[in-house]
Amino acid sequence: MSFIWPSFCLTIYMTIDRKLILANAPSNMGEQVHVNHTGCEAGEDKKRRLYIKRTDKGLVAYCHHCNEKGFASDNSARLSTWLTSSTKTTKEQKRKPTLAPLSLGGKVWLTNYNCPTRVPNFMGVEGDPSRVALMLYDLQNNPVGMQIRSLRPDADLKYVTYFDNSNSDVAWFYNGSKTLVITEDYLSAYRVQRDVGFSSMALLRTSITDKTLAQIYDTGFNEIYIWLDSDDAGAVGAAKVSKTLQHFLPADVKLLTIHSNEEPKECTSEQLVSKFL
């Protein structure tokens, strides 16, 4: 079901709690979610009647139970680094880059995080030695797209993600292990799977989608570790992901959050292993 948003919704008096809107905000421009309206004046909402949509002006909300409306501005700097190519409008961002061998700068960047430079996961970008292509795979190890990492410190966007189809919206490193480690970025997930031996998955953002939740549920993991970045956005994201998983998964699935000043990709192999002992 898709709600048609009234053209006047940004100019009327707003009453829906801003914190509730931000807590359930969709990740991509134009994306819409519907959730239960906590504290709805029309009574308890059990049918997810609150609709929240991300627009270019901010987050707009409307409840079909009480007819309240809401708006919240979300100018998170972190969000801008994780938007997918479908949310961008420039010609360069619409056009999928052409792959090329890794540049010297790309090799140095990967080596700094103890990642190999001669595996299919890492490629260069034709005509731009300052970018690295991280190849994305789904749960069945099928290629589904790429994430481009800019190595330039002055880049407007550090990451731009391209998905070829709708099979996945994360980066999976599934090896059959029923222990899953959820990270924020690609290199961290790669390092966990390689050095620790657990299945891993990079959110490529600080939130988790319904599609990914369903994949986690269907795979039947016994225990799940959440290890996002240590900054404020990562801490808030980890708490939200943990709460979502706890609500969604069977009660016997063990959930743990790792709190560390280092990202997984910044650890040595020995340090990574020790986090799970």
Domains along the sequence of the chain with CATH = 18-74 (no CATH), 80-274 (3.40.1360.10)
Least confident of 37-46, 82-91, 98-107, 207-216: 82-91
If you average pLDDT over every residue of the chain, what do you get? 86
Q: How far is the CA of 212 from the CAs of 3, 109, 150, in angstroms?
A: 23, 29, 26
pLDDT at 77: 42
Q: How far apart (Å, rounded) are the C-alpha atoms in residues 169 and 129?
A: 26
d(CA 84, CA 92): 13
- Residues written for the chain: 277
β-sheet bridge partners, residue 179: 223
In angstroms, the CA 216 to CA 249 distance is 9
Q: Which amino acid is at 94?
A: K
Q: Report the b/e string of 227-253 with b at 16+ CB within 10 A.
A: bbbeeebbebbbebbbebbeeebeeeb
Q: Which residues contact 82 (CB under 8 A, 6 or more apart)?
A: 27, 159, 161, 204, 205, 206
Query: pLDDT exceeding 70 applies to what percent of the chain?
Result: 87
DSSP string, 38-51: TT-TTS---S--EE
Q: What is the dihedral angle through the alpha carbons of 132, 138, 139, 141, rounded to the nearest 10 degrees? A: -70
Whether 23 has a pLDDT exceeding 90, the answer reads no
pLDDT for 128 equals 96
Q: What is the pTM of this model?
A: 0.69
Digit-coded pLDDT (tens) for 187-228 = 999 999 999 999 999 999 888 888 899 999 999 999 999 999
| Whole-number pLDDT of residue 17 | 85
Residue 157: its pLDDT value, please? 83
pLDDT tens for 229-265 read 988 888 889 999 999 999 989 999 999 999 999 999 9
Find the mean pLDDT for residues 4-29: 66
User: Measured between alpha carbons, how far is 89 from 111 in angstroms, rounded to an integer?
Assistant: 33
Q: How far apart are CA 159 and CA 138, in angstroms?
A: 19
What is the structure's pLDDT at 3?
54
Name the most confidently modeled range: 85-89, 98-102, 203-207, 212-216.
Answer: 98-102
* 199-202/179-183 β-pairing: parallel
The set of residues, in sequence order, having a beta carbon less than 8 Å from that of 237 and lying 6+ positions away, is 184, 203, 205, 206, 207, 228
Q: What is the pLDDT of residue 11?
A: 38
